[in-house]
């Protein structure tokens, strides 16, 4: 699969077959995440793979009611929980060095997109689930202080071929030249 096919063909997948996603496939996805850029190469991401069905149900239980990713979470072959260490990315000596904080969110986002694209290139599907009670999920997975659970990624083989996906904003609505608001 070439880059354009990966970028433009990837969709959030919320319905899976019962095909087992192997540990090797999961490692390949994490390997793609591993090569994402990060602040000063700090690589503060942590990934927890969950296969235990009871644990998966508990994690789905931390989602807000009617989260569209709930069914995907319950029927996924595995969950990959994307976490990050706080206080390192964008920080020196534990202090923020820019007015923008929580750079780990940026780093993790890049890593997770790599992961999702790799899954797609392998014929697998993912969806990012972030609308949840993060503190409750952190507790369930015994994530220590200083680390945050950011998103859950259910992984599986898509039940149906990818559709065109929700529309995107027009380029002209967010692309600027020389200054914000000037037309490119």
Ligand X SMILES: Cc1cc2nc3c(=O)[nH]c(=O)nc-3n(C[C@H](O)[C@H](O)[C@H](O)COP(=O)(O)O)c2cc1C
Minimum distance from residue 114 beta carbon to ligand X (Å): 13
Binding map of ligand X across residues 70-109, x = CB under 6 A, - = no contact = ----------------------------------------
Distance CA 63, CA 143 (A): 17
Residue 131 in contact with ligand X, rule: CB under 6 A: yes
Enumerate residues 6+ apart whose C-beta is below 8 A from 57.
74
Residue 128 in contact with ligand X, rule: CB under 6 A: yes
| Count of chain residues binding ligand X (CB under 6 A) | 13
Closer Cβ to ligand X, 42 or 67, answer by number:
67
Residues 57-76 that bind ligand X (CB under 6 A): 67-69
Q: Are 28 and 143 in contact (CB under 8 A)?
A: no
Interface residue with ligand X, options 59, 127, 137, 141 (CB under 6 A): 127
Q: Are 131 and 62 in contact (CB under 8 A)?
A: no
Closest CA to 153 of 81, 96, 76: 81
Closest CA to 56 of 32, 37, 72, 34: 72
User: Contact residues for ligand X (CB under 6 A)?
Assistant: 11-12, 67-69, 127-131, 151, 165-166
């Amino acid at each position: 699969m070439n880059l354009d096919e990966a970028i433009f063909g990837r969709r959030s997948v919320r319905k899976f077959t019962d095909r087992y996603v192997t540990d090797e496939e999961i490692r390949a996805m994490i390997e793609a995440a591993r090569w994402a850029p990060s602040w000063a190469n700090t690589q503060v991401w942590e990934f927890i793979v969950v296969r235990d069905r009871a644990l998966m149900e508990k994690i789905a239980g931390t989602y807000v009611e009617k989260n569209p990713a709930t069914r995907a979470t319950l029927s996924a072959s595995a969950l990959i929980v994307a976490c990050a260490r706080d206080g390192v990315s964008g920080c020196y000596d534990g202090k923020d060095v820019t007015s923008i904080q929580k750079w780990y969110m940026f780093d993790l986002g890049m890593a997770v997109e790599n992961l999702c694209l790799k899954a797609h290139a392998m014929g697998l599907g993912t969806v990012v689930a972030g609308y949840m009670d993060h503190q409750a999920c952190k507790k369930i997975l015994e994530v220590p202080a200083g680390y945050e659970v950011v998103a859950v990624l259910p992984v599986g083989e898509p039940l149906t071929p990818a559709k065109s996906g929700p529309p995107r904003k027009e380029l002209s609505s967010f692309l600027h030249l020389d200054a914000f608001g000037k037309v490119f």
